[in-house]
């Protein structure tokens, strides 16, 4: 498994538009074959940095997933929404693998 991290620089005056975009991906990403961890928007600190994070089996699986997402009606609509509203100023995408697993069980105090 690999994890895709997408770092966004967003317009600080269009945070709600980004949140709508994120909610749309919350439906479209899992329906097209990736395991969405979540989209994370500004809360405290930076008003312009946001992240999207999901896992997928491999880079080959990623390529097939991207093709499905591009042909999915909600995926196409969401890409168009972002293009039209211009709330994303910059987007960086990178892939990492988890090298710390397996993890111990969480112990609460």
Overall domain count for the chain: 1
* Per-residue confidence (pLDDT) for residue 46, from 0 to 100: 84
Residue 98 gets the label, from left (phi > 0), alpha (psi -120 to 50) or beta, of: beta
- Residue 101, domain member (yes or no): no
Enclosing domain of residue 32:
2-96
Name the residue with tokens 């909610």.
23
Q: Of 102, 93, 98, 109, which is closest to residue 7 (Cα–Cα)?
A: 93
pTM of the predicted protein model: 0.90
Residue 70 lies in a domain: yes
| In a domain? residue 107 | no
Please check whether residue 103 lies inside any domain of the structure. Answer: no
pLDDT at 80: 97
Please compute the mean of the pLDDT values over residues 70-98 and round it to a whole number.
97
With a cut of 90, say whether residue 45 has pLDDT above it: no
């Amino acid at each position: 498994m690999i994890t895709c991290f997408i770092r966004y620089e967003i317009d600080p005056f269009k945070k709600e538009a980004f949140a709508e975009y994120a909610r749309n991906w919350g439906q479209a990403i899992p329906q097209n074959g990736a395991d969405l961890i979540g989209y994370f928007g500004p809360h405290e600190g930076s008003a312009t940095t946001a992240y999207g994070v999901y896992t997928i089996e491999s880079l080959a699986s990623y390529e097939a997933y991207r093709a499905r997402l591009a042909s999915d009606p909600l995926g196409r609509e969401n890409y168009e929404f972002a293009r039209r509203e211009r709330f994303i100023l910059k987007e960086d995408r990178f892939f990492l693998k988890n090298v710390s697993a397996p993890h111990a069980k969480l112990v609460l105090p």
